[in-house]
């Protein structure tokens, strides 16, 4: 049976103690749709989240952490027995800090930039503008559709998490067998500190595309 060693227990105690002195912050709300329209023959959406980068996350970036967000948008056709996906859109965002330039680096599809403006980073992470989802000609007349949004926010990416865990030596076979327990201790501590993974989601009401190419929501 795995028993956490003194180092693991001490580390957990330190992290838990930090939780008591760090400021408590509310979690961002789920996504909010700003617009859903038909423009130039395309179904186009804009949405936003409240800022997800709090002081703890920003400080972890400056200390070498890598933060990732993944936006997943799906267009579904509503059917009597089972819905099916007609289009899916993935938008990954990666954040890090360049210690040479003393600037934040943000990497996303079609863009890789350095900036010292934290507000720019926050907007890039949480404000999705004018996303072209699907040509309306690919949608069936009078069929009902909905859109789901799922945003996964990982303040500490998997590689950063593994690097932190790697500080703890595994000196014998029993420790290696207990690595899952050590990982759960870390994950619990990170959750308490507000650095655990979070997921935000939204499902729109059902809608159809009218003959004049407008959005009509179904009551």
pLDDT for 72 beyond 50: yes
Does the pTM surpass 0.85? The reply is no
Q: For 145-154, what is each residue's pLDDT tens digit?
A: 999 999 999 8
Q: How confident is the model at residue 18 (pLDDT cuts 50, 70, 90)?
A: very low
Q: Please state, in angstroms and rounded to a whole number, the distance separating the CA atoms of residues 76 and 7.
A: 49
In sequence order, the β-bridge partners of residue 74 are: 88, 148
pLDDT at residue 150, rounded to an integer: 95
DSSP string, 104-142: EEEEETTEEEEES-HHHHHHHHHEEEEEEEEEGGGSPTT
Q: For 192-210, what is each residue's pLDDT tens digit?
A: 555 568 899 999 999 999 9
Q: Are 90 and 100 in contact (CB under 8 A)?
A: no
**Highest mean pLDDT (candidates 32-36, 138-142, 175-179, 181-185):** 32-36
Q: How confident is the model at residue 33 (pLDDT cuts 50, 70, 90)?
A: very high
Q: For 83-113, what is each residue's pLDDT tens digit?
A: 799 999 999 999 999 989 999 999 999 899 9
Q: Please state, in angstroms and rounded to a whole number, the distance separating the CA atoms of residues 12 and 193.
A: 11
In this structure, what are the phi and psi dihedrals at residue 160, rounded to the nearest 5 degrees?
-65, -45
Q: How confident is the model at residue 116 (pLDDT cuts 50, 70, 90)?
A: very high
Q: What is the mean pLDDT of residues 22-31?
A: 59
If phi > 0 it is left, if psi is from -120 to 50 it is alpha, else beta; for residue 210 that is beta
Q: Residues near 144 by Cβ (< 8 Å), separated by ≥ 6?
A: 77, 78, 206, 207, 208, 218
Q: For 41-69, what is each residue's pLDDT tens digit?
A: 999 999 999 888 888 888 888 888 889 99
Three-class SS state of 35: strand
């Amino acid at each position: 049976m795995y028993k956490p060693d003194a180092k693991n227990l001490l580390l957990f105690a330190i992290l838990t103690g930090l939780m008591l002195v760090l400021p408590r912050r509310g979690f961002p709300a789920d996504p909010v749709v700003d617009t859903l329209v038909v423009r130039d023959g395309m179904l186009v959406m804009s949405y936003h989240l409240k800022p997800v980068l709090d002081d703890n996350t920003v400080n972890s970036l400056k200390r070498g952490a890598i933060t990732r967000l993944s936006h997943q948008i799906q267009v579904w056709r509503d059917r009597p027995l089972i819905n099916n996906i007609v289009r899916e859109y993935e938008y990954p965002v990666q954040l890090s800090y360049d210690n040479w330039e003393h600037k934040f680096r943000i990497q996303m599809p079609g863009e890789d930039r350095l900036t010292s403006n934290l507000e720019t980073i926050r907007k890039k992470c949480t404000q999705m503008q004018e996303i072209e989802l699907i040509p309306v000609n690919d949608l069936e007349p009078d069929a009902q559709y909905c859109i789901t949004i799922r945003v996964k926010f990982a303040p500490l990416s998997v590689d950063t998490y593994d690097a932190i865990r790697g500080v703890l030596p595994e000196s014998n076979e029993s420790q290696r067998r207990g690595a899952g327990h050590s990982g759960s201790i870390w994950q619990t501590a990170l959750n308490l500190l507000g650095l655990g993974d979070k997921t935000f989601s939204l499902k729109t009401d059902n809608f159809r595309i009218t003959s004049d190419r407008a959005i009509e929501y179904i009551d």
